Amino acid sequence: MTLTYPAELNASMSDYVMFTAHEYRTNRKIPGQVNPGGGVGPAVGEPVILYMPNSTPTVSNGQSWGEVHFAGPLGDITQQLAVQTTSAVNSLSNGKVSISDIKSQAKAAFEKIKSEGGAAAGQLGLKFLGGIFGATPNKLQAMQSGRIYNPNIELLYEAPKMRAFSFDFNFIPKTPAETASVNRIIKQFKSLSAPSKLESSMLKVPCVWQVAYKYGDGDHPYMGEFKRCALVSVSVGHNPTSNTHTTFSDGMPVVTSMNLVFQEVDIILREDHENSKSLQGF
């Protein structure tokens, strides 16, 4: 059975949002485990179909980039050392070099600083003095000569950001049957987003959700897709826009609001966008 609001929503002709809960599975495949991971767990509860909100959530595809400074002549040598050492470590993983080779490269770089002397050695000296006087080499240089070392800033990629988004729905049931459906919908979201009790003082991880924009009987071609999501917050309020508490004759509040906050459990890759069923990607 599918829980639907409003009752007259025709899923074969309308735009709507569908929520399906599944048992939690880790993204990583774990051979030999009861919950092997790497895929979608069994469905739990009843699928929920809700009307398409007037304003759907803004979903940000963020990327984490960070500034790295290789200031001055010492920074030039440091950057070279970083590149050489990283290359050596990558080679180490392929069995091409040893730990002693990496140590030798690092020692050679420091010997280069000493042999070149001059500006690099002077910057190293200012770095030592800065620790004593509580100032950076640039501040010491600015104070003494009105100059600073070229910061040589580079923006380097760190990682994709996890996506989060939220939905807001208002329920105004028109019949006793619709009242019952609204209450079941809210209770299911609350229940399946909470952990359950196991033996030996353990808790079972809450369900994860598949959220999908739908158009008729299929996925919506013009709205983004979502990966599996954790439902991190369920907030419910009654008569949010009314100055007084108002109910129907059976005691059900006239308006019930629900806010759902989701966070995807996996990152979005370029291949996800390219292989998406949606014309807009994820």
Give the start-to-end residue ranges of the domains of the chain.
3-60+163-274, 63-159
Q: What does the pLDDT read at residue 179?
A: 96
Q: Map residue 84 onto helix, strand or coil.
A: helix
**Residue 22 clears pLDDT 90, i.e. is over it:** yes
The single residue listed with the structure tokens 């299929």 is: 218
**Residue 219 clears pLDDT 60, i.e. is over it:** yes
**Residue 128 clears pLDDT 90, i.e. is over it:** no
Name 33's Cβ contacts closer than 8 Å, sequence gap at least 6: none
Q: What does the pLDDT read at residue 117?
A: 58
Read out DSSP for 190-259? HHHTS-EE-STT-EEPPPEEEEEEEETTEE-TTS-----EEEEEEEEEESTT-SS--B-TTS-BS-EEEE
Q: How many CB atoms lie within 10 A of CB 56?
A: 14
Which pLDDT tens digit goes with each residue over 158-167?
Answer: 999 999 999 9
**Residue 211 clears pLDDT 80, i.e. is over it:** yes
Give the least confident one: 44-48, 55-59, 90-94, 205-209.
Answer: 90-94
Torsion-angle region of 49 (φ positive above 0: left; ψ -120 to 50: alpha; else: beta): beta
Name 103's Cβ contacts closer than 8 Å, sequence gap at least 6: none
Which pLDDT tens digit goes with each residue over 188-202?
Answer: 999 999 999 998 889
Name 211's Cβ contacts closer than 8 Å, sequence gap at least 6: 17, 18, 19, 226, 229, 262
Q: How far apart are the C-alpha atoms of 110 and 89, rounded to whole Å?
A: 18
Percent of the chain with pLDDT over 90: 56
- Which H or E run contains 21? strand 15-22
Q: How far apart are the C-alpha atoms of 224 and 197, rounded to whole Å?
A: 35
Q: What does the pLDDT read at residue 30?
A: 72
- Beta-strand ranges (E) seen in 77-220 are 153-160, 164-171, 196-197, 203-204, 208-215, 218-219
Name 74's Cβ contacts closer than 8 Å, sequence gap at least 6: 113, 119, 120, 123, 124, 127
**Residue 204: band (very low, low, confident or very high) from pLDDT cuts 50, 70, 90:** very high
With beta carbons less than 8 A apart as the criterion, state whether 138 and 122 touch.
Answer: no
Torsion-angle region of 10 (φ positive above 0: left; ψ -120 to 50: alpha; else: beta): beta
Name 119's Cβ contacts closer than 8 Å, sequence gap at least 6: 72, 73, 74
pTM: 0.81
**Residue 106 clears pLDDT 70, i.e. is over it:** no
Overall average pLDDT of the 119-139 stretch:
76
